[in-house]
């Protein structure tokens, strides 16, 4: 399913290999390429507009830290309790309410795999999880790091996106490093050659400027977050729902 989605979404795996002089027959290359495209297709949105959803899982976007805050109009299901009236979870005591919490990967992704929708908003109905750019990218990078990829979140102005430093087998042998720039707010994925020989540590540290970008990266690459994600139960209902959405995407209905 991953490789099929990857080939349908872009010009094709073969063209990708030709562009970067990669061994198109390498199982490692096929797996890396398809994983990046697959997880992007799962989590992406289509714009920075409240309730705007996209990707396979249809996760809505919500602005945060503005006045009025649209998240203050979200209610928790099944009892329709406003998030503003729910205490933040343990470890998030500095936030006024659940509506105000920055949705780290453990919150964003555990909600995503709940049995039934967790939230409702008058503008976009019921949904399982939600997030704006930083929350989507923290979840994406956390998942990709758990899959063995080196990832960072980069900030420019008020917007952030993800970048992955991917290793591929070259056509003539050796390793070729290719950077995947993934924007899960605007549904873009671009591949480029590593511009200069740098260490992985130097590459990971080059994240742009912003008051919270270092925190985003620390959370996304946190071992404790990954451990918590590994321990998150995934009910059969969630598995069935996500598989159904994947089949719809493969059939061209999404």
pLDDT in tens, 82-122: 999 999 999 999 999 999 999 999 999 999 999 999 999 99
Q: Across residues 34-54, what is the average pLDDT? A: 95
| Residue 253 reports pLDDT greater than 90 | no
pLDDT band at residue 242, thresholds of 50, 70 and 90? very high
What mean pLDDT value characterizes the chain?
A: 93
Altogether, the residues listed in the chain come to a count of 254
Query: What was the pLDDT predicted at 12?
Result: 78
195-216 pLDDT, tens digit each: 778 899 999 999 999 999 999 9
| ∠ CA 114-46-110, rounded to 5° | 15
Query: What was the pLDDT predicted at 10?
Result: 53
SS3 for 13-25 is HHHHHHHHCECCC
| Residue 155 reports pLDDT greater than 80 | yes
Please choose, from the candidates 191, 190, 181, the residue with its C-alpha nearest in 3D space to the C-alpha of residue 161: 181
81-82 vs 75-76, strand pairing mode: antiparallel
**How much of the chain exceeds pLDDT 70, in percent?**
94
| Residue 48 reports pLDDT greater than 50 | yes
Q: pTM for the complete prediction?
A: 0.94
């Amino acid at each position: 399913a991953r490789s099929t989605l990857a080939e349908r979404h872009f010009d094709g795996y073969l063209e990708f290999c030709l562009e970067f002089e990669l061994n198109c027959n390498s199982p490692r290359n096929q797996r890396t390429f398809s994983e990046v495209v697959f997880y992007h297709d799962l989590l992406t949105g289509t714009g920075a507009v409240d309730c705007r959803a996209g990707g396979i899982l249809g996760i809505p976007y919500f602005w945060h830290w503005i006045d009025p805050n649209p998240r203050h109009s979200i209610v928790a299901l099944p009892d329709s309790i406003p998030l503003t009236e729910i205490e933040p979870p343990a470890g998030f005591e500095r936030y006024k309410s659940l509506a105000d919490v920055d949705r780290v990967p453990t919150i964003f992704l555990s909600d995503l795999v709940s049995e039934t929708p967790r939230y409702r908003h008058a503008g976009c109905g019921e949904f399982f999880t939600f997030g704006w750019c930083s929350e989507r990218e923290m979840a994406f990078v956390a998942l990709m790091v758990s899959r063995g990829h080196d990832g960072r979140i980069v900030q420019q102005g008020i917007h952030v996106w993800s970048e992955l430093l991917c290793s591929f087998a070259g056509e003539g042998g050796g390793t070729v490093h290719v950077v995947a720039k993934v924007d899960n707010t605007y549904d873009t994925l671009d591949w480029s050659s590593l511009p200069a020989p740098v260490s992985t540590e130097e590459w990971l540290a080059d994240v742009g400027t912003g008051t919270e970008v270092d925190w985003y990266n620390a959370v996304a690459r946190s071992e404790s977050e990954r451990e918590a994600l590994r321990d998150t139960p995934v009910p059969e209902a969630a598995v069935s729902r996500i598989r159904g959405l994947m089949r719809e995407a493969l059939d061209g209905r999404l």
